[in-house]
Amino acid sequence: MLRIQPFWPAKHSQIYPLLAKLEQEDYISVELVPQRDKPDKKSIFPDRQGQGCAQGLVRSADGRARAARRDDAEGVLHVLRQTGIRPQNARRPARFP
C-alpha cells in the first residue's frame, strides 16, 4: 500500500480514479505519450489552479488540509475548492518550481 502523506494510505485502485476526477475538474492536464509496442504513457501536469492549490495545501497550517482525511476524490476536491481557487477551462500545463 502506498501512502500519500499526510492524507491517507492509498492503493493504485484509488489513485487512478482520483486523477480522472482532478482532470475532469481542470486541476491537472494529461498528455498521452506514444510508446512502441506498449500502451500510451500518460504524462500528468498540474494546471495553474492545481499548482496553486497544491502549494497552498503544503503551506496550510490552519487545518484545511485535515479536511482531506476522506477516502475519496470528493474530499480532496472539497479542500481544493475551499482554497478559493476555481479551475478554468484552459489546459496549459504548469510546472512545480
User: Please, what are the domains in the chain?
Assistant: 2-82 (1.10.10)
Question: What tens digit of pLDDT does each residue of 52-66 get?
Answer: 877 776 666 445 545
- Predicted confidence band at 39 (pLDDT cuts at 50, 70, 90)? very high
**Confidence check: pLDDT of 18 > 80:** yes
Rounded distance between C-alpha atoms, residue 87 and residue 84, angstroms: 10
Q: Which is more confidently placed, 5 or 9?
A: 9
What is the arithmetic mean of pLDDT over 39-45?
Answer: 88
> Could you tell me if 45 and 33 are in contact, meaning their C-beta atoms sit under 8 angstroms apart?
no
User: The C-alpha cell of 82 is what?
Assistant: 475551499
